[in-house]
Structure 1
């Protein structure tokens, strides 16, 4: 994987890419969730690198993509992603987004409906307004102080044990969170801003249709918010296939990497 940097007016985005395969083949675009970084997809990169073209980033403000001004929207993230894909001449993107990464993927599908060749949601949820209540939207906009004043040791424990069930998944998330050890203010800003722009994207009431082959993936033990309820409704309303990952939490791609990799491969074969 080659590390590269894309400069925006708000800051620099670091991303890792390997385009060693046929450019006519799919490029797997891995987008980590809120507060996570590119390492979240280590097991996927390890498996798919050398088979497909692969891409993963540290989202704006996260990990190495810092410093960064928090003056951007979810659509801005999708536009920056498209700028990078265009710069790298990636013509067949398949977005694989975990949690917040799945929301970025839906924003991308809304802005560039003819570019996206495949979409996989891992423990994410639909971006349409109809799926959330007014109270949920209000709470999403008020999360920064919660993360800022929550005791760091307790937050570290919740942020690791609460998103993964496996020893590997928990250790990985612990290592990722430790980037912000001693700078809880930055961690709170990343989380608070992320939830706020998510709520604002929902409030636009755009259709956010997925017009390409798609797959929903959700851990059976995903207790992050109402993720299980959202995914049940998403599957029921759209008919997008859903796979429930046994004994996996919110980061199901770290708890059951072989099973998730198999599902990714199946979708690519359909494309």
Structure 2
């Protein structure tokens, strides 16, 4: 994987890419969740490198993609992602998005429906307005002060143990959160902006249809928000297959990487 930069008016996006398979091949695009970075998909990169083109980023404002002005929307992220893919001459993306990464994938599907070849949502949820309550939207817009005033040591503990059940997954999340150690203000601003951006995308009330083969993956012990409830409704209303990962939390791709990798592979082989 080669690290590269993509310049935007708000800052530079760091991403890692391997395009050895050529422009005609499928590209697996891994999009981490809010406050996580490219390391979230280390087990997936190790599994698929050399078999498919790969791309993973530190989302705008996250990890190495800092400094970055937090003045962008979910659609801006989808636009920048497409510009990066075009710059790399990669034209057959299969987006694998965890949590917030899954929302970016849905925004990409809305913006570029003919480009997306496949979509895997890992512990994410649908973007359509009908799935969320008014109080949930209200809370999403007001999360920044919570993260600003929460004791950092306690936040580190709950933030890592609350999203993963495995020792590996918890240690990895703690390591990614330590990127913001000593700068809780940045962490709070990043999380607050992400949740507000999400609420705004939902309130836009766009169709957010998935125009390609897709798969929903959710850990049976995912206690982040109402992820389990959302995925059940998403599956019921759309018919998109839903795979439950036993004993896995919100970062199920770190808790059960082999099982998740096998599910991703099955989707790709069916394209």
TM over 0.5: yes
Residue 88 of structure 2 corresponds to residue 88 of structure 1: yes
**What are structure 1's unaligned runs of at least 5 residues?**
none
Tell me what 1:154 maps to.
154
Deviation at 1:21, TM superposition (A): 1.2
Work out the CA distance in 2 between the residues paired with 1:23 and 1:89: 6
Work out the CA distance in 1 between the residues paired with 2:22 and 2:190: 36
Work out the CA distance in 2 between the residues paired with 1:175 and 1:167: 12
Deviations along 1:49-75, one digit per CA (max 9) or x if unpaired, are 000000000000001000000100000
1:14-25 to structure 2, matched below 5 A, reads 14-25=14-25
Tell me what 1:109 maps to.
109
Tell me what 1:124 maps to.
124
Deviation at 1:24, TM superposition (A): 1.8
Work out the CA distance in 2 between the residues paired with 1:146 and 1:237: 33
Deviations along 1:142-187, one digit per CA (max 9) or x if unpaired, are 0000000000011000100000000000000000000111000000
Work out the CA distance in 1 between the residues paired with 2:158 and 2:19: 37
Work out the CA distance in 2 between the residues paired with 1:160 and 1:228: 19
Work out the CA distance in 2 between the residues paired with 1:109 and 1:180: 31
Where 1:77 maps in the other structure, the secondary structure is: helix
Tell me what 1:202 maps to.
202
Deviation at 1:22, TM superposition (A): 3.7
Tell me what 2:219 maps to.
219
Tell me what 2:173 maps to.
173
Work out the CA distance in 2 between the residues paired with 1:39 and 1:22: 24
Work out the CA distance in 2 between the residues paired with 1:139 and 1:213: 32
Work out the CA distance in 2 between the residues paired with 1:91 and 1:77: 17
Deviations along 1:108-160, one digit per CA (max 9) or x if unpaired, are 00000000000000000000000000000000000000000000011000100
4+ residue runs over 2 A deviation? none
Tell me what 1:6 maps to.
6
Tell me what 2:229 maps to.
229
Work out the CA distance in 2 between the residues paired with 1:208 and 1:43: 29
Tell me what 1:61 maps to.
61
Work out the CA distance in 1 between the residues paired with 2:122 and 2:157: 22
- Normalized against structure 2, the TM-score is what? 1.00
Work out the CA distance in 2 between the residues paired with 1:55 and 1:91: 12
Where 2:159 maps in the other structure, the secondary structure is: helix
- Normalized against structure 1, the TM-score is what? 1.00
Work out the CA distance in 1 between the residues paired with 2:171 and 2:3: 24
**How many residue pairs get matched?**
271
RMSD: 0.4
**What are structure 2's unaligned runs of at least 5 residues?**
none
Where 2:165 maps in the other structure, the secondary structure is: coil
Tell me what 1:190 maps to.
190
Where 2:40 maps in the other structure, the secondary structure is: helix
Where 1:231 maps in the other structure, the secondary structure is: helix
Where 1:20 maps in the other structure, the secondary structure is: coil
Work out the CA distance in 1 between the residues paired with 2:182 and 2:23: 43
